[in-house]
Amino acid sequence: MTGDRSKRAATAAVVVAVAAFAAVQSYSHIYDLARGHGQRGAVGALVPLSVDGLIVAATLVLLQDPAPKVLARFMLWTAIGATVAANVIYGLGYGVLGALISAWPAYAFIGGVEMVVGLTRRARRVPEVVPAVPAASNELPAHLADAQQQFAGDIAAGVVPPIRRIRSVLGVGQVKATEVRAHLNELASTR
């Protein structure tokens, strides 16, 4: 596991943990509120899941396809409003400070979910790097020359190896592997 990957994994774990703690608190607030207003048994237990679960569901829909989806965005904002309102109402009996403290889990849950989604989006993006051409010489940089030699069979077959394989075979980082992949892609397209 590389340094960047382990940092992302640790960050995601902490953010998921905070979102989980906040979800449990928010669940209990909405559950108590639902039970206090006639929602008994399984129905009362499912109300909080339908509110906070809708935030997760709408966010996942938007993660799959970030193009503007009116219904998904509307449902996301409706669920955010519902969870914040329910948590504020739960704490109002304890004054303004109680309302703010009670609203915090909803706020932390929403923020946690959105941060994990942001990490996921950034991890899926692989920047296309244009290979650098040495100015003083027609020779390729060593990592590109090594790549041509190591992956000659793949290129001859018109196959460009994935970044993970390039990193593993050449022992290079993400930036050089992306540069190598762009170079190999160029070679494969001219064959």
- What pLDDT was estimated at residue 129? 53
Give the residue extent of every domain in the chain.
Answer: 3-124, 142-189
Tell me the whole-structure pTM to 2 decimals: 0.57
Each residue's pLDDT tens digit, 90-115:
999 999 999 999 999 888 888 888 88
Per-residue pLDDT for 123 more than 80? no
Per-residue pLDDT for 81 more than 90? yes
Matching residue, tokens 């799959």: 64
- What pLDDT was estimated at residue 136? 46
